[in-house]
Amino acid sequence: MNVLIDTNVILDAGLNRIPFNASAEKILLLVAGEKLNASITTSSVTDIYYFLKRDYHDSNRAKEMLINFFNIFEVIDVTKSDCEKALGLPMDDYEDALLATCAKRRRIELIITRNLKDFAESPVKAISPDDFLTNYF
């Protein structure tokens, strides 16, 4: 199964955000154990770095964590066409629309996110981390 992981799930694990970290960490372990093919977008990478650096006050730690993420996730490029297509989606949050557009282009099966309401009109089905673990693992 190919999934796209939303930034909030990565940050739940990376920043140990209780209570969300438990399911996020389980998903990352599935990816690291090669039991799940998962991707993040290049636009998510910059957001992840920003929040890791901000919360840890340590750019080296943030960089090390990104390197670890690069070792387990595929990083999907964001093209000009993706940016334009995302504007046409009936989704209010442009960042989420861009994620959905990239997922559709790459034929990703699910987007794993805690932000389900913003993905209601997504062309790719979104699922919460807990529901993903319950229904697929």
Please report, in tens digits, the pLDDT of each residue of the chain (137 residues total): 999 999 999 999 999 999 999 999 999 999 999 999 999 999 999 999 999 999 989 999 999 999 999 999 999 999 999 999 999 999 999 999 999 999 999 999 999 999 999 999 999 999 999 999 999 99
Looking up residue 120, the CATH number of its domain turns out to be: 3.40.50.1010
- Domain that residue 96 falls in: 2-136
Q: For residue 74, give the nearest of 40, 45, 107 by alpha carbon.
A: 40
Q: How many domains does the chain have?
A: 1
Two tokens, residue 115 = 């932000």
